[in-house]
A and B are shown apart, each in its own frame.
Chain A
Amino acid sequence: MENVIFAVTQIFDPMNLILLVLGGVAGIIVGCLPGLTATMALALLVPFTFTMPAASGLIMLGGLYVGAMFGDAIPAILINTPGTPSAIATTFDGYPLAKKGMAQQALIANAFSSLVGGIIGTITLLSLSPPLAELGLKFGPPEYFWMAIFGLTIIGTIASDSILKGLTAGALGLLLSTVGISPIGGDVRFTMGLVPLQAGINLMAALIGFFCIPQVLEMIETGAKEYQVIQYVSQKGLLRKTIRELIRKPILLLRSSLIGVIVGIIPGAGGNIASLISYNEAVRWSKNQDEFGKGTLDGIAATETANCSVVQGSLIPMLTLGIPGSPAAAVILGALLLHGMQPGRQLYTTFGGITYTFILSFFLAVVVMFFFVALGSRFFARMISIPYQYLVPGIVFLSVIGSYALRNNLLDVVMMLIFGYAAYILRKFGFNSGALVLGLIMGPFAEQGLVQSLLMGRAAGSIPKVLFGRPISLVLIGLSLLSIAWPIFSAWRERQQHRKITMKEGEIIDG
Chain B
Amino acid sequence: MVNSDSLSGLAILALSYIGYYQSQGFTYYSKIFVSWVLIILAVLGGTLLIKGLVSPKALQFWTEGAKIRSVVLTVLILAGYTALLPIIGFIISSIAMFFTLCLLLASPPKRRSVRTWVYALVVSCTITLLFDLVFRHALLVPLPVGSIFVG
Contacts and interface: CB of A to CB of B under 8 A. Distances in A.
Contacts of A289: none
A392 B101 contact: yes
Nearest to B104: A389
Contact of B67 (A164, A172, A223, A430): A223
Nearest to B57: A430
Given A175-B19, A417-B79, A450-B32, A221 B66 contact: yes
B63 interface: yes
Interface residues of A, number: 53
A450 B33 contact: yes
B106 to A, nearest CB: 5
A162 to B, nearest CB: 9
Given A171-B37, A187-B27, A431 B8 contact: yes
A413 B93 CA distance: 14
A190 interface: yes
A338 interface: no
A400 interface: yes
B63 A401 contact: no
A397 B48 contact: no
B: interface residue count bin:
35 or more
Given A165-B48, A421-B75, A185 B29 contact: yes
B121 interface: no
A119 B104 CA distance: 45
B38 A175 contact: yes
Contact of B44 (A171, A182, A217, A405): A171
B134 to A, nearest CB: 9
A393 B102 CA distance: 7
B118 to A, nearest CB: 13
A394 interface: yes
Contacts of B103: 389
Contacts of B120: 389
Contact of A417 (B19, B61, B78, B102): B78
B41 A390 contact: no
Q: What secondary structure prevails in chain B residues at the interface with A?
A: helix
Interface in A166-198: 167-168, 171-172, 174-175, 178, 182, 184-187, 189-190
A472 B74 CA distance: 50
A429 B30 contact: no
A447 B33 CA distance: 6
Given A174-B37, A220-B70, A397-B131, A167 B97 contact: no
A401 B40 contact: no
A217 B71 contact: yes
Q: What secondary structure prevails in chain A residues at the interface with B?
A: helix
Nearest to A425: B61
A318 interface: no
A282 B124 CA distance: 48
Contacts of B45: 168
Contacts of B41: 168, 171-172, 175
Contacts of A390: 102, 123
A308 to B, nearest CB: 31
A451 B33 contact: yes
Given A51-B141, A164-B48, A451-B33, A389 B26 contact: no
B55 interface: no
Interface in B32-71: 32-34, 36-38, 40-41, 44-45, 47-48, 51, 59, 61-63, 65-68, 70-71
Interface string A408-421: 10100110010001
B71 A220 contact: yes
A397 B127 contact: yes
Interface string B10-36: 001001000100110111111111101
Given A190-B19, A401-B131, A393 B97 contact: yes
Given A397-B97, A451-B33, A429 B59 contact: yes
B113 interface: no
B61 A186 contact: no
Contacts of A223: 65, 67, 70
Given A182-B29, A393-B102, A430-B4, 16 more contacts: A51-B139, A168-B12, A175-B37, A184-B30, A185-B28, A185-B31, A186-B30, A220-B70, A389-B103, A393-B101, A400-B94, A408-B142, A410-B82, A410-B144, A430-B8, A450-B36
23 contacts: A51-B141, A171-B37, A172-B12, A174-B37, A182-B30, A184-B29, A187-B26, A217-B71, A220-B67, A221-B62, A224-B105, A390-B102, A390-B123, A396-B97, A396-B101, A397-B97, A397-B127, A397-B128, A400-B82, A405-B141, A414-B82, A430-B4, A446-B33
Interface of A: 48, 51, 164-165, 167-168, 171-172, 174-175, 178, 182, 184-187, 189-190, 216-217, 220-224, 388-390, 392-394, 396-397, 400-401, 404-405, 408, 410, 413-414, 417, 421, 428-431, 446-447, 450-451, 454-455
Q: What 7 A-B pairs are tightest by C-beta distance, nearest first?
A: A185-B30, A187-B30, A182-B30, A389-B105, A185-B29, A393-B101, A447-B33
